[in-house]
Amino acid sequence: MAVRAHSKSLYMDVRSSWCKGCGICIAFCPKGVLAADRQGRALIARPELCIGCGICENLCPDFAISLEVKNSA
């Protein structure tokens, strides 16, 4: 199952079936966007706080997070 959040300029997807629950993304998110579900896997808890920095996507060892930032022209 995938958990998705989006806004005009941002689309975030967390594939919970790929997540092993290491918590790296949660620990390094500078805005506290991610949290752990009952199984310890990442979920998007506060999507409105996401700044699109990509730290979560870059640090995820399971490639469970994808982030697409659409820059307005």
| SS3 assignment for 4-46 | EEECCCEEEEEECCCCCCCCHHHHHCCCCCEEECCCCCEEECC
List the domain range (segments joined by +) for residue 29.
2-69
Q: Is the pLDDT of residue 7 over 90?
A: no
Query: CATH number for the domain including 62?
Result: 3.30.70.20
Domain count, the chain: 1
DSSP classification of residue 61: T
Mean pLDDT of 15-29: 96
Give the pLDDT confidence score for residue 9 in this predicted structure: 77
Residue 67 sits at φ, ψ, to 5 deg, of -135, 130
Q: Is the pLDDT of residue 73 over 70?
A: no
- Global pTM? 0.82
Write out pLDDT tens, residues 34-69: 999 999 999 999 988 998 899 999 999 999 999 987
Give CA–CA dist 23/69, Å, rounded: 23
Q: Is 30:64 a contact under the CB 8 Å cutoff?
A: no
Mean of pLDDT over the chain: 88
